[in-house]
Structure 1
Amino acid sequence: MDDDDAKDLPEQREPAVLLSGIVGSTAYGLAHAGSDLDRLGVFAVPTEQLFGLHRPAESRVTTAPDSTLHEAAKWCRLALSSNPTASELVWLPEDCYEVRTALGEELIAMRRSFVAAGPVRSSYLGYATQQFRKMVARGERGDAPPARQAKHARHLLRLLEQGVHLYRSGELRVRVADPESLRAEGERLAAEPSAAEARLAWAEDQFSRRSVLPDAPDERPATAWLRRVRLAQLAVPLGSATSTLV
């Protein structure tokens, strides 16, 4: 390749962050003085990068600061499965958002299309059950610090509270209703993990009832949004390999 050919190639562009915010304990209202600050976001790769032999990475994870960014298509797939961590991005309290582009605002506006009864029940109850099993296993081994057990318990309680409220109302309430009560119950369950079985049984009963949510999520808004994202990130018009949009 000579210098003239190199000049004709489109310039490599960085992915665009469409929506991002502070998540985790800060968003839940459970942060304390030593809590980490966690960030979650959605980015879009330049569309031309999707046409090569190898697809670009779909997630970008960093520490110090703690940040997770999912590519637009991956985030949509996670949200359509009611993944609790991904889904909360479009339901954050207003003061937790840091980047809100026009396409990000569209994602927030269509957030109800991602949720459905079956995925909500499966995801939230499944993730809470994972926390319970970790508590029990580590309690039996006796190798878990009390603070770690309490953290598992808080996650369990939060997931059940959020999941049942979403299942009943169609709204994901990210900030917990009563942080002090949740902390206190978390401490109690950390000392006696088997007591969490009653909370899981309560949630299973709630999830067995009729939900206000549809049976399955509506993929059409996500598909249409992704097409708008790809068009917005298209620097080289189709049929013109050398010209770029200004």
Structure 2
Amino acid sequence: MTVPNVLLSGIVGSTAYGLAHEGSDIDRLGVFAAPTEALHGLHTPKESHVGTAPDTTLHEAAKWCRLALGGNPTAMELVWLPDELYEVRTPLGDELIGIRTSLLGAQRVRAAYLGYATQQFRRLEARGDGSRPADLRGRTAKHARHLKRLCHQGLELYTTGQLTIRVEDPEEYHAFGERVAADASAARPLLSHYEAAFGERRSALPERPEEAAAEAWLRRVREHFYRPEGR
């Protein structure tokens, strides 16, 4: 998959979290800029490009900003990666990393991270006990690990304004995944703990994100990729 004007991209997912195992897919996420003049035509460009081999998702700059301002966990991790996991970094990409804290709002972070974690729990709950094929048990364990990660990272972001991508103890996450794969109800105490923690802890974030920072960055992107015909 070839997409022009990639501003920032890197390796995300299990590899970034430190939860990958032999045979795990390597996931990539990035932001690209559509040519500015293409945004004014009858048919606007695609906002996302998704490809496999390798697994890659690229969002157009405006869409990525909307996702990030909404607290989307997957979008947000792109601007908190360790340096060695970035594969494309441009000056505009570095600017985006530089405004990452401005994109955070307490209400949206709490709703997004707890919301995604709750979705994972409902998937697990629907599968019942551990009497299932090995491949389904593996997917269940994976969803359980993501549930735990979303809860931990969301609370960290909510209370400190910082996001650590790599988990501190990968083995703890794998053990939790196996427990939940055997009995989905084992995930309920963890989710309940984090629901209570979000309610009790004070957030380091403002109530709402600073949309003006994203708007100013996006306008710089549009100016940079404005190529009037004939010039």
> Taking structure 2 as the reference length, what is the TM-score of the superposition?
0.94
Q: What residue in structure 2 maps to residue 116 of structure 1?
A: 105
Q: What residue in structure 2 maps to residue 215 of structure 1?
A: 207
What's the CA shift for 1:140?
5.9
Q: What residue in structure 2 maps to residue 183 of structure 1?
A: 174
1:128 paired to 2:117: yes
1:90 paired to 2:82: no
What's the CA shift for 1:243?
2.3
Taking the aligned partners of 1:93 and 1:59, their CA distance within structure 2 comes to 24
Q: What residue in structure 2 maps to residue 99 of structure 1?
A: 88
Taking the aligned partners of 2:43 and 2:55, their CA distance within structure 1 comes to 27
Partner-residue secondary structure (3-state), 1:156: helix
* Count, aligned residues: 226
Taking the aligned partners of 2:48 and 2:33, their CA distance within structure 1 comes to 11
Q: State the Cα deviation string for residues 98-135 of structure 1 (Å, max 9, x = none).
A: 00000000000110011111111111111111111111
Q: What residue in structure 2 maps to residue 200 of structure 1?
A: 191
What's the CA shift for 1:15?
3.3
Asked whether the equivalents of residues 151 and 194 of structure 2 are also in contact (C-alpha less than 8 Å), the reply is yes
Q: What residue in structure 2 maps to residue 171 of structure 1?
A: 162
Asked whether the equivalents of residues 129 and 184 of structure 2 are also in contact (C-alpha less than 8 Å), the reply is no
Amino acid at match of 2:166: R
Taking the aligned partners of 2:182 and 2:124, their CA distance within structure 1 comes to 10
What's the CA shift for 1:32?
1.2
Aligned-pair identity (%): 62
Within 5 Å, which residues of 2 pair with 1:1-246? 15-139=4-128, 143=132, 145-208=136-199, 209-236=201-228, 242-244=229-231
What's the CA shift for 1:76?
0.2
- Structure 2: unaligned runs, 5 residues or longer: none
Partner-residue secondary structure (3-state), 2:217: helix
Asked whether the equivalents of residues 15 and 46 of structure 1 are also in contact (C-alpha less than 8 Å), the reply is no
Q: What residue in structure 2 maps to residue 5 of structure 1?
A: none
Taking the aligned partners of 2:170 and 2:115, their CA distance within structure 1 comes to 22
RMSD: 1.4
Taking the aligned partners of 2:191 and 2:57, their CA distance within structure 1 comes to 29
Partner-residue secondary structure (3-state), 2:163: coil
What's the CA shift for 1:139?
2.4
> Taking structure 1 as the reference length, what is the TM-score of the superposition?
0.89
Amino acid at match of 2:6: V
Q: What residue in structure 2 maps to residue 4 of structure 1?
A: none
What's the CA shift for 1:93?
1.1
Asked whether the equivalents of residues 129 and 181 of structure 2 are also in contact (C-alpha less than 8 Å), the reply is no
Taking the aligned partners of 2:186 and 2:171, their CA distance within structure 1 comes to 19
